[in-house]
Structure formats: C-alpha cells, structure tokens
Structure 1
Amino acid sequence: MEMIGTLLPLILMFAIFYFLLIRPQQKKQKAIREMHNALQRGDKIVTIGGLHGTIDSIDENIVVILVNDNRKLTFERSAIREVVNPD
C-alpha cells in the first residue's frame, strides 16, 4: 500500500507532463509535416527567415521560390514556415 502512495505522485506528474508538453509538441510537428507534404506550385509561402514568395517548382526536398522581380531562390522544403494562400 505504501508503494502505491509513493508511485502515484510520480505517475501523476508524468501524465501531466505528457499531456501539457509532449502531446501538443507532437501534434504541432505532425501539422508541419502535413503542411510540407501538401505544398504545391503556386502556393504563397513564408520561410522560417521571413521571406515571402510563391513556389515556382518543388521536388522531394528542394523548393524554388519566386520572389520580387522574378528572382528565383532555392530552399530546403523544411525551411517553409507557413502557407499564406488567401482562402
């Protein structure tokens, strides 16, 4: 009986830690992964550095972004922070 009283707070702390920290982070990573997989030509995006542009071409890991004055920049797919297409 004493063992249950000793382990219960530890189990409770782990459960709280999981639901407040680990699970939300996993959901956020999943959403980012799904967004990266759904990227397509013509999407308006923002990179992690704050650069705004439009996807000109895309392959497995590389994204070519069209920016001001028809300049093309090449980025890793993981450098895309968000898609800002008007809905």
Structure 2
Amino acid sequence: MSTILIFLVMLAMIFWMQQQQKKQARKAEEERSQLTKGDEVVTIGGMYAIVDEVDLANKKIVLDVDGVYLTFELTAIKRVVAKANIPSATSPSTDSSEAVDLTNQEKTEE
C-alpha cells in the first residue's frame, strides 16, 4: 500500500513540475510576442541589446548592440530588461533611470 502511495506522490510531483514549465514557456512566449522597437533585452548568450526590428511572422529579431545590428531567432531572447520609454500623454513617466539622472544633475549643480 505504501508503495502505491509513493508512486502516486511521485506522479503528482512530475505532473506539477511539467505544469510549471509550461507556464514559464507560455510567459516567455508572451513576452517575446510583445517586444517592440527600443526594448532592452538579454539573449540566451548573455548579451544585452536594444530591439531594432521584430518580425513575428518569420520569428526573427534584429538587435542593436552598440551600433552593430545582429539578426537572431526570436527564441534567442532570454528576458526583457526594460520596455521602451514611449512618453504617454495621459500619465507622467516614472522611470527609475530618470530619477538617477535627476539626482546626478542635482549633485553637479551644488
């Protein structure tokens, strides 16, 4: 009886782990499909770059790395570091990088 219980617990754990992996894969795919020009991303190789062009139909992305334009498969994107700063007319930007710039300006003025 205990052998059956252990077997059932193992099956439940395997099922749960597979569901978590599927959830992560769906989230990553959703992030990739929402990429726009100007977003900062990290590739699976660890390279930080800015998105220049996204071709969802062919699943390709062109990244700008310090003026060098590289074409990758869309799946080469590991994660999105920062979304593009597109100023909105309805709400002020609350980007933390702007706050850092302001504090640096204040220090230089003193």
Code of the residue aligned with 2:39 in structure 1: it is D
Q: Deviations over 1:32-56 (max 9, x none)?
A: 1111111111100010011111011
Which residue pairs with 1:29 in the alignment?
Answer: 25
Say what the alpha-carbon RMSD is for the aligned residues: 1.7
Q: TM-score, structure 1 length as denominator? A: 0.79
Which residue pairs with 2:61 in the alignment?
Answer: 63
Secondary structure in structure 1 of the residue aligned to 2:32:
helix
Query: Quick one: percent identity of the two aligned structures?
Result: 35
Which residue pairs with 1:48 in the alignment?
Answer: 44
In structure 1, stretches of 5+ residues that fail to align are: none
Code of the residue aligned with 1:12 in structure 2: it is V
Q: Structure 1 residue runs of 4+, over 4 Å off?
A: 5-9
Which residue pairs with 2:10 in the alignment?
Answer: 13
Secondary structure in structure 1 of the residue aligned to 2:8:
helix
Secondary structure in structure 2 of the residue aligned to 1:10:
helix
The equivalent position to 1:39 in structure 2, one of 35, 42, 48, is: 35
Code of the residue aligned with 1:18 in structure 2: it is F
Q: TM-score, structure 2 length as denominator? A: 0.65
